[in-house]
Chain A
C-alpha cells in the first residue's frame, strides 16, 4: 500500500493559535512539581478567541467565559454547566464536584475574560479549584493581565507560563487570506497594504479581506491586486475622518 501523507491540520497556521495551544499543552504535560496555571493575554482584536477556540477543541478543554455578574455561586454553576454536571446545592459542594470531575477526566479548564474575576476579587475561586484538582488551567484576558495578577501574590506564584498574544504578522495575513478569501485571490502587494493598515489586528485583516473579496466578485475579477484596488479605503476600525473639501 502506498503511504498516504497525513492531511495538514485544517487550522489556520496563525502564530497565536500555535503559541496558545503549545502553552496549554505545556501545562497539561508539566512535571508534577511545577505549577499548572498558564495565562494567555493581549489586546482585543489580536485573534485571542480563535486561538482559545482551537486550544479548547484540540485539548478537549472545559471552557467558560467569566462575566461581570459572576458571584462565587454563579461561577461554580457556569463551570459545572460547561462540564455537563448537575450542580450541588452549596458552593462548597460544587467546588468539590468541579475538582473531582477535572481530576478524573484530566481535562484542562479555560477561563476567558478573567479580568472580571480580578475586578471583583473572586479570582481565589480559580486557585481553590486548581489546588483541589491540580488540573491545567488557562486564564485568558486583556493586555494588563500579568500586572493585575501581581496583586494576588498567592496566585502569581502558581503561574507556569505567560503567553502574550502577538500582533498579526504578514505571514498570518497571507494565511488568513488563503483561508477566508475562497472566491477571489488577493495579490501579495495588496495583502501587504492590508497588513500595514491593520496594525496587527486579526479582526481588521479579516474585515478587509472580506471586503476585497466582495469587491472582486462585484467586478467579476478572480484576482485583486493593489493597482486594481486603487484608492479605495481600507477598514481601520477608526471613525471616518472629516472629508476634505474638493
Chain B
C-alpha cells in the first residue's frame, strides 16, 4: 500500500528525533537502514544519525503503540510500520514508551503568548502541568533571557510579550557553551558543543 501523501512539513531547525519522525511519516513502512539512509543522505558525517540512535527512538515509539514492529525472522531485517500518525510534531517518548508533555520552555513559550502581560509567577502557574511543574526560578530565568533577546519587554517585575518577535512554534533555548581562551594570542582555541536544550527528547 502506498503511503498517503502528506501536506505538512515541519518548520524550523530539526532535532535528530524530528528528522527521524519526518522520515517515518514519508516512508510509512521501513527498516532501520531505510530510515537512516533517508535521514543521512546529503549530510556530512558529523550530522549523520546513527542506527543506535534511530533504534532507541523506535523502541520508545513501538512501546507507545505509535509504530508497529514486524515479527523478527532470521536473516531478515526487522521492518517497522507507522500506525498512529500524530502530525508534524515528533512524539516525545521515553525509551519505555511513556509519552511526555511538551518541555517546560515550550509550555512557557506558548503560555506567554496567550497571557500577553505577566509576572514570572503567573507564567509559572499557567505553564505548569500536574506532574510537570515549573520552578519559579526557571520561569524567572527564562523571562530574563528572553527579554535580553528582545522577545519580552520588561517593566519592573512584569514582562510583556513582543508579538513581532513571535518567531514560531518552537521555544527559544538557553544554551551553555564552554570555551578555552588563550590570552597570549587573544583567541578562543576550543569550544564545546552547546548544551542545555530541554526539548531534545
Contacts and interface: CB of A to CB of B under 8 A. Distances in A.
A93 B8 CA distance: 10
Contacts of B89: 84, 105
Nearest to A63: B114
Interface stretch (B29-37, B44-52, B118-126, B144-152): B118-126
Interface in A100-117: 100-101, 104-107, 112
Tell which of A6, A82, A182 has the most Cβ of chain B within 10 Å: A82
A83 B88 contact: yes
A10 to B, nearest CB: 4
A9 B101 contact: no
A10 B121 CA distance: 11
Nearest to B116: A49
Nearest to B6: A100
A57 B8 contact: no
A11 B128 contact: yes
Nearest to A64: B113
A57 B105 CA distance: 12
Contact of A57 (B85, B87, B110): B110
B116 A88 contact: no
A218 to B, nearest CB: 15
B115 interface: yes
Interface string A19-42: 000000000000000000000000
A86 B168 CA distance: 10
Contacts of B115: 49-50, 53
28 contacts: A6-B130, A9-B128, A9-B129, A9-B130, A10-B125, A10-B130, A11-B125, A49-B114, A52-B114, A53-B114, A53-B115, A56-B114, A57-B128, A63-B114, A81-B11, A81-B169, A84-B11, A84-B12, A84-B168, A85-B8, A85-B88, A86-B10, A93-B7, A97-B8, A100-B6, A101-B88, A104-B85, A180-B119
Given A65-B163, A84-B169, 14 more contacts: A9-B129, A10-B128, A50-B115, A50-B122, A50-B126, A56-B114, A63-B110, A84-B170, A85-B88, A86-B8, A100-B8, A104-B87, A105-B86, A180-B119
